Amino acid sequence: MTAVDTATNFWGLTETHEEIREHARGVARQFVAPRAHDIDAAAEFPQDIREIFAEQSLFGLPYGEEHGGTGTGALALIIAIEEISKVCATSGLLLAVQELGSLPIKLAGTDAQKEQFLPKLASGEWLAAYGLTEPESGSDSAGMRTTAVRQGDEYVLNGGKRFITNAGVADVYVVFAKTEQGVGHKGISAFIVPADAPGFSVGKYEKKMGIKGSTTGELFFDDCRIPAENILGKEGAGFTLAMQVLDRSRPGVAAQGLGIAGGAIEYAGKYLLDREQFGKPIAHQQGLQWMLADMETRTCAARELLYRVGHMLDSEQDVPRATLTRYSAMAKLICTDVAMDVTTDAVQLLGGYGYIQEYPVERMMRDAKITQIYEGTNQVQRLVIARNLLEELKHTEPIPF
């Protein structure tokens, strides 16, 4: 597969994009869908799905060819996450978090750091995780308490993180810590912490409403020592890096939400065609058709915005950071709100059957909820969008009414 292809369709997708969609869809329906219910019921990390993704080169999607990846860009990854998440949101998250955890290395890593870590992440031999959130600092990252102190050729980390996806299964963690106190965001730095670093440990795992096969846990640093060369960029540059990462990782969560919505629509629509009441399929009921139409329309509108963000990320021309920030936040907001609304309606369309675990829409509804919370709550997305827009309007000539 190559990153450049001139054949496009009305979404602006190349033949390569369509090939990746078909490949991801095939993997999803052949291998992932039959396991989705059991992954949720057992609440165990799906090691078999991880191995299949590695065999099928899906982990290579976020990486350039120079590091063993496909070099196919951000939109290709979005499409793959969407297709996998249609059948299992936990499995779709495997791809999204691999991107999240490696983005800081791609954006701020030295050539040596990239050569050391990215090829093993691209092959799926290693998994990545992203350590920003703490018990007392979620949306307020400046309030983090984890510290990193330079001692000779090492940094010594102390503190803890919470709600970390891939905790305990990741081989490498990007961890944010304070290297200077009293200066807010300017005191935050980013570090690469291998899972076998002395002084690093994983605490309890959370029991969650949804995405049960994904590990979510605590990280602890007790005089955790890492080489000084494991810092990403310079001291004090961590907050800026974290925000750059989120601009590029939120579309992955949006794709997860979009996939959940798409899977719910497909299942509910098939159910309406198969289920009969009063001597005919309930798909003939106008009220149910209207619900399905609204579900599909909102999902398609969300897809248009998300794919536009994918094109922005892949554009050879520089997109202003403020524009990327706003559109990334809008895509995350609409795709995940749609996921929650659509799955709720899908449960309603199935009636009593929608509420029982034999049918997948109740799982989809539970899985959808977290997409409105992580990678920045949707309330935070609204703040980002509004502030970004208002700043732009300050420099815009008023309409001459």
Strands 128-131 and 200-205: unpaired
Helix (H, G, I), strand (E, B) or coil at 156: strand
**What does the alpha-carbon distance between residue 213 and residue 111 come to, in Å, rounded to a whole number?**
34
Q: CB within 8 A of 370, min separation 6: which ones?
A: 208, 209, 210, 211
Region of 354 (left: φ > 0; alpha: ψ -120 to 50; beta: rest) is: alpha
Residue recorded with tokens 């998994």: 127
The residues pairing with 219 across neighbouring beta strands, listed in sequence order, are: 161, 202
Q: Is the dihedral of CA 97, 102, 106, 107 positive or negative?
A: positive
Whose CA is closest to 391, among 324, 322, 328?
322
Nearest-Å Rg of the Cα atoms of the chain is 22
The amino acid sitting at 305 is L
Mark whether 180 is an active-site residue: no
Which residue in 66, 99, 375, 392 is the catalytic one? Answer: 375
Both structure tokens of 26: 């095939």
Dist. CA 10–CA 15, nearest whole Å: 12
Contact at 8 Å (CB) between 303 and 74? Answer: no
At a CB cut-off of 8 Å and minimum separation 6, what does 141 contact?
132, 176, 185, 188, 239, 242
Active site residues: 375
